[in-house]
Structure 1
Amino acid sequence: KMLLLFIFSIVLLPKAFTLRCYECKPQAGGTCTETEKHCSTGEDRCGSFRVINYNGNSKVSEMKKKSCAMAAHCVQGSLDFGVNRTAIVSECCNSDLCNKQFPPDPKQSNPNGKKCYRCDGQTCTGTLNCKGDEDHCVSTIGDQKVPMKGCASKQICSKTTSTLLPGATPSEINCCEGNYCNSASSTSAGILILVTPLISLIFLS
């Protein structure tokens, strides 16, 4: 009997003490239906996430998700190619069912003094004033060989974050520091990233 009790305690106790979070997968129209989920090993917090796409200052689309998460999932930042800008906002917490609310809209970002090149078709001589915490310049080339240049936040450029950005088309994104550092010449080491749609965070995980 003692042996059976020991075996049951090994099997059942970890389940009893795992974190519980609201789970809400993206659906059409930016809505999602909540369920409760026991987190897997290594997922030590609950997260709520929004990915917002802007055209100029106008919001054109949005994705929302709630899930169990790891620290690397809890990122904030933006990626701006001039015409299109994508912002990630997230909130993470570490108690049961603490991710009830979605994070609010990001604050209106003002130019921060950083300047990068942007592209118009194949021509990449235009300039872009970076906003908010966009402290890096970026340069990418997608499968269609269409260059894209602009501004990005540091977290968007990190290798950890890039692994959380599943999309449809592989591209190489190079991040660098310094005004207009994203010229036609090579920048820092490339990170394999998926940028179409620009950012999906962990929405497909």
Structure 2
Amino acid sequence: MIARLPSGQPYAPPAGLSVLHADAQILVVDKPSGLLSVPGKDPGLEDCLEARVRAAFPDALLLHRLDMDTSGVMVFARTRLAQRHIAWQFEKRSLEKRYVARVWGRPAGDRGRVDLPLICDWPNRPLQMVCHARGKPSVTDWALLAVEGAASRLAVSPLTGRSHQIRVHLREIGHPILGDRFYATGDALAAADRLQLHAESLTLRHPEGGAWVSYTAPVPF
């Protein structure tokens, strides 16, 4: 029987585990698009990045997630001390995250900031929405990398870490991410066979010694 996501979409994640870096304190991997970060609640959704990582590295500890459709860099801790150290960096927003996105159309200008509060759209979860009354502060910076026909390639840096933040913010400024089955429609949805959003790099202080380190996963689109 084919496993299905709550949306009814078949769940057929790609195989394998791509390790970018491993030492005694941390593990860095490149998550493929189409693979859950953590197990789903429904039967058949046990296969996920966390399960694959722990099969190969039993001491790995989860620190953060990426959307199933998003690919790119994820870091795991390998000790409780490293987990606390890096979790503090996420909490204080002291680490640097850079994404690459291909979006529909060309934004006005070469760079910008989206500052719109977000909240879960409960009747339509897991979708998120802008809500000025009850939403949590959410800020995303973007910069134009290239114009590619009817699309544009952007470097994106989320300054907060809300669910679907980049996807909603880019849609709200009129430039949905190509292939985004949640927030794109028409030509923007049909323009790609996967979500064109990739966590390209993560820069943080290493929990052993505190030196800045940066890990990069090549953009697959």
Larger radius of gyration: 1
In terms of fraction of residues, the more strand-rich structure is: 1
Normalising by the residue count of structure 1, what TM-score does the alignment of the two structures yield? 0.23
Normalising by the residue count of structure 2, what TM-score does the alignment of the two structures yield? 0.22
Q: With CA pairs under 8 Å and 6+ residues apart, which has the higher RCO, 1 or 2?
A: 2
